[in-house]
Amino acid sequence: MHWYASYRTGRSTIMQIFRRREEAIAAAYRLINRGYSNALEVGPMSGNPEGKLLNEQDLTRIRDKSLESATTIQSA
């Protein structure tokens, strides 16, 4: 299933399409790092997106959790 990462810039919505969820999330991290967080969203291209959409807060939480895990592993 293909996934997208989208964000709003001015009056336009920019959408990038990816083959895998992980690729879309990685692209969203890059967008957050560049300051593009207005209406940032990651979701599936087909099917019912209910419960699968990720907004900026979700993405930040996921990123922070992975950074904590990486730090814990390196400390061990």
Q: What is the pLDDT of residues 36-58, one digit of tens each?
A: 878 899 999 987 777 789 998 99
pLDDT score, position 3: 95
In this predicted structure, the answer to whether residue 64 has a pLDDT above a threshold of 80 is yes
Characterize 12-46 residue by residue with b for buried, 16 or more Cβ atoms within 10 angstroms of its Cβ, and e for exposed: eeeeeebeebebbbebbbebbeeebbeebbbbeee
pLDDT score, position 63: 84
Residue range of the domain that includes 70: 3-75
Are the C-beta atoms of 18 and 28 separated by less than 8 Å?
no
Split at pLDDT 50, 70, 90, the class of 74 is low
pLDDT score, position 26: 93
DSSP label at residue 3: E
Distance CA 26, CA 73 (A): 21
In this predicted structure, the answer to whether residue 76 has a pLDDT above a threshold of 70 is no
Number of domains in the chain: 1
Q: How far is CA 15 from CA 27, 28, 33, in A?
A: 11, 11, 17
